[in-house]
Structure 1
């Protein structure tokens, strides 16, 4: 299955799950609010508001799935996965706002005892029904979330679990009220609010960390470095960085290779490392591998050194008398440790001694160019 097909399957699964949740929560919202009023239970009405929040978040998941699984385009070269992340933050905010509203209403009732409700036994049946329905939704949604690797579906699954827990709190509070403790119903509503706020904060904070490019766990990053170091031709690893994009990670890393490798061999090694990283972790979708001839985190920078045209111009000036002994345009330049090192091929001579003398003479002549390092002349057989 290619990435496009996988995205389509993920989109369908997320949208189907959210619609199932929306239908169930619509029914629960109506039942809880209606029977909360009939049964005189403030806690059940608060739980009904919680189910309404669940309904809203199910619709958010549906819209997020529709847009977050779209492929990358010119405006969004890394894809649209963070739409899901942004919606998860929104889900957390909805939960926290719901909790604040319940707290304010419960506090007002506790401060004014005449407004306290007196639940009837029918509330217990509705609370039990809510527990069963939401626990079923939790397991169903969490299973699909793991299959799709979706943080938004995971958040929504725990939202369903929070609704089940809040219904348990309602069950306890109403039971206490029926036994002659009228304050327990209002306190149960406060307990529901605390649970809602806690889950809302956890989901929002996790997604905010993703939006500000928090990297993967240090232990996981260290494991990736060890994998890279085992690859043939890799001499070192540094500047490994990661960031989350939806449920996946994007990696960029610098690797050190032999400083005299060809460009094509360096590219081959980089591509091998990239594919190795993707295969090593199920949540890594892509990696950018930068090839270094030396560890540029500690070596002297070559950023201010001139480019090829200027280097060759300077070399022609200092080597004017010897320029006919080799083809300067074919020179190989190595930018290492703050210097430009030059490799030349001598075609005319077959005498090793003469080639060595030429190499020494050229090295002496470039002393006036303080950015030139070693000069090496090779004899072509």
Structure 2
């Protein structure tokens, strides 16, 4: 991590944790008053937001550690592992909502009752969630944090879940008694989609998927005078956006060690110049 980045991410998560606690309190109050499935689901969703914030704070503290003998490339993947914890929380929420929705459709749970105060409290909670989404997205982009962006995606589903909870209360009040269960199923599908989106962004980092096309790396290296060819080029990216590149260059067999070292320096500078935050490892072989 760049100096201070981890601390800024941690502070952002602590602030969001406080806001999510406020949202949970509002939803639990409304859920206890109404017994609405969608409201209880929204409370669970916000509660899982809090848990994911706690997981994120732990993950970011580990990810900020300097490289050591056992982790020479640093600990940044622990941040991405934290996003998998968020996905696990989403999966739990999805399963619980589907289960309770089916039970309510089968008459196991009573239809909710509601009052104007309940709707007002949920609207206030909706405003808190919407603010959190915007805040985390802004900070995530500025700090280059996958964890903040993933948590913003999770909370975005919370905004929609809360909106559906409000709709459920209104429809139930108007006499549509199955609205709560049906909208609960919609909420579960939204949560499942959010989990898929997070996985799609996190797994390539965890499995060291190619970050830059090998042909592009080779073309950058080929511009260096004295480099005869490129035998191998590969790359990967970390959660903070740092790029690691590894290339094997071919030089004339009579090249001295000193000259070969100069070639590697040129290649490293060229890659960093073209690709930004890049750390390159260059191997030299005779042509």
> Which residue, out of 246, 261, 264, partners 1:252?
246
> Which residue, out of 139, 143, 147, partners 2:142?
147
Query: Does 2:249 align with 1:272?
Result: no
Q: How many residues align?
A: 286
Cα-to-partner distance string for 1:30-63 (whole Å, 9 max, x where unaligned): 2101111213322111101000000001111111
Q: 1:121 to 1:130 in 2, by over 3 A?
A: same
SS of the equivalent of 1:73 reads coil
> Which residue, out of 30, 45, 48, partners 1:50?
45
> Which residue, out of 214, 225, 250, partners 1:232?
225
Query: What is the Cα deviation at residue 138 of structure 1?
Result: 1.2
Q: 1:231 to 1:136 in 2, by over 3 A?
A: same
- Alpha-carbon distance in 2 for matches of 1:156, 1:36: 24
- Alpha-carbon distance in 2 for matches of 1:226, 1:106: 56
Trace 1:98-113 onto structure 2 (pairs within 5 A).
Answer: 98-112=93-107
Query: What is the Cα deviation at residue 164 of structure 1?
Result: 1.0
Aligned structure 1 segments of 4 or more residues deviating by more than 4 angstroms:
none
Larger RCO, structures 1/2 (Cα 8 Å, 6+ apart): 2
Query: What is the Cα deviation at residue 283 of structure 1?
Result: 4.3
- Alpha-carbon distance in 2 for matches of 1:99, 1:128: 23
TM-score (norm 1): 0.71
TM-score (norm 2): 0.92
- Rg larger in 1 or in 2? 1
Trace 1:193-212 onto structure 2 (pairs within 5 A).
Answer: 193-212=188-207
Task: State whether residues 85 and 152 of structure 1, in contact with CA within 8 Å, keep that contact through their aligned partners in structure 2.
Answer: yes
RMSD: 1.8
Query: What is the Cα deviation at residue 173 of structure 1?
Result: 2.5
Structure 1 counterpart of 2:125:
130
SS of the equivalent of 2:128 reads helix
- Alpha-carbon distance in 2 for matches of 1:211, 1:119: 46
Structure 1 counterpart of 2:61:
66
Q: Which runs of 5+ in 1 are unaligned?
A: 295-381
SS of the equivalent of 1:168 reads helix
Q: Which runs of 5+ in 2 are unaligned?
A: none
SS of the equivalent of 1:173 reads helix
Query: What is the Cα deviation at residue 179 of structure 1?
Result: 2.2
